[in-house]
């Protein structure tokens, strides 16, 4: 009989920080010593749920992301209470996003929400975390992901305090944005030219 403990999924710890513009975020990142890890790239995300929205009701997430030529399937578990957003996260690549979507739909999941952004990841030396610049249809955000002490120190070094931390998902931020603008929520996507 196997008495070993089950493998626990990795956890991510992060916060979002609102910024006025991509330009102001780039200035903050440069002053803090961050360098881009890759070029700015378009990212498309599709969130799946059961017809009864069981995942959303329990603050879990099942997402298919297309970014920089990769398709990544992600499960995020329930967040832990706290100043930072900490939750289990399991990710793996899928060879074909369209086929992965058909598999999920064949299992009874449906597309719940789509969101888009332009993303650039930044690193600094041997830091245990990284910064991400997300340009979205509802605003621009810096995301810091890493150990809580690193997040706090890095945020403070860029002029932010814990009062600036956002631990909400982009889906929740989008719904709040729509309520504030008195607009019916749909998908958080860029206007097509």
Instruction: Let me know how long the chain is.
Output: 193
- Res 2: pLDDT: 41
pLDDT tens track for 54-68: 999 999 999 999 999
- Residue that is written with structure tokens 């729509």 in the block: 178
Tell which residue, 92, 84, 83, has the closest CA to residue 62: 92
Tell which residue, 107, 125, 136, 126, has the closest CA to residue 16: 136
Compute the average pLDDT of residues 125-129.
96
Q: Is the pLDDT of residue 3 over 60?
A: no
Compute the average pLDDT of residues 169-173.
96
- Res 13: pLDDT: 97
- What are the CA-CA distances from residue 102 to residues 55, 109, 112, 135, 167 (Å)? 19, 9, 14, 29, 31
Mean pLDDT of the chain: 94
- Res 24: pLDDT: 97
Alpha helix (H) ranges present in the chain?
22-31, 54-57, 97-106, 148-157, 170-181
Name beta bridge partners: 121: 132
> What is the rounded distance in angstroms from the CA atom of residue 84 to the CA atom of residue 70?
28
The domains of the chain, with CATH numbers, are 12-181 (2.40.320.10)
Compute the average pLDDT of residues 28-43.
97
Say how many C-beta atoms besides its own lie within 10 A of residue 54's C-beta: 10
> What is the rounded distance in angstroms from the CA atom of residue 130 to the CA atom of residue 123?
5
Compute the average pLDDT of residues 79-105.
96
> What is the rounded distance in angstroms from the CA atom of residue 170 to the CA atom of residue 79?
14
- Res 165: pLDDT: 98
Confidence band, pLDDT 50/70/90 cuts, at residue 1: very low
- Res 192: pLDDT: 78
Q: Which two tokens stand for residue 89?
A: 């996260």
């Amino acid at each position: 009989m196997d008495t070993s403990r089950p493998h626990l999924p990795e956890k991510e710890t992060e916060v979002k920080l609102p910024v006025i513009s991509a330009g102001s975020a780039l200035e903050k990142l440069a002053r803090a010593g961050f360098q881009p890890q890759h070029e700015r790239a378009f990212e498309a995300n599709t969130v799946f749920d059961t017809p009864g929205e069981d995942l959303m009701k329990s603050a879990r997430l099942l997402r298919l992301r297309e970014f920089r030529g990769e398709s990544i399937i992600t499960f995020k578990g329930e967040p832990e209470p706290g100043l930072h957003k900490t939750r289990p996260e399991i990710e793996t690549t899928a060879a074909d996003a369209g086929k992965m979507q058909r598999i999920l739909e064949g299992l009874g999941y449906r597309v719940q929400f789509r969101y888009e952004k332009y993303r650039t990841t930044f690193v600094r030396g041997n830091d245990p975390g990284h910064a991400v610049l997300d340009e979205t249809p509802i605003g621009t955000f810096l995301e810091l992901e890493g150990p809580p002490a690193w997040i706090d120190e890095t945020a403070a070094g860029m002029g932010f305090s814990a009062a600036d931390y956002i631990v909400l998902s982009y889906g929740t931020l989008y719904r709040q944005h729509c309520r504030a603008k008195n607009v019916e929520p749909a998908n958080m996507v860029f206007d097509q030219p």
